[in-house]
Amino acid sequence: MSWSGLGRPAPGKESDVAANPSIGWKLLGTLSAVLAGLAARKALVTGWRATTGKNPPANPAAPGTEWKEAIPYALASGAAMGLARMLATRKAAGYYRKSTGHLPPGMEEVT
């Protein structure tokens, strides 16, 4: 693909994202999930410190981590990451639909 200018395809050429909307969705979905995961991790660590007064376990699966700390942290971590990913995917899909007029590939309306 030849490019003319900054970030613009050559005249008469479509960008890869415009030619294949699933690439655009994959980029948007991945970026939103990564950012949501980072935000969830930050919120989880902050909440853990506020609740317990200690840092969260570095590795809950490590044999040296006590069960009474490993299990609650694993549950909270899984719930926080799952919720963050779901919220980010829904928001990204809404933006995608608003931009393209249809839902991203692989997502259907549930009625």
Quick: pLDDT tens for 91-109.
999 998 998 888 888 787 7
Q: Is residue 81 part of a domain?
A: yes
Q: Is residue 16 part of a domain?
A: no
Number of domains within the chain? 1
Q: Is residue 6 part of a domain?
A: no
pLDDT confidence tier of residue 3, bands split at 50, 70 and 90: very low
CA angle, corner 52, sides to 49 and 53, nearest 5?
Answer: 60
How far from the centroid of its chain's Cα atoms is residue 10's Cα? 32
Domain that holds residue 28: 21-100
> What whole-number distance in Å separates Cα of residue 85 and Cα of residue 35?
9
Q: Is 13 in contact with 2 (CB distance < 8 Å)?
A: yes
Sign of CA dihedral 68, 73, 78, 79: positive
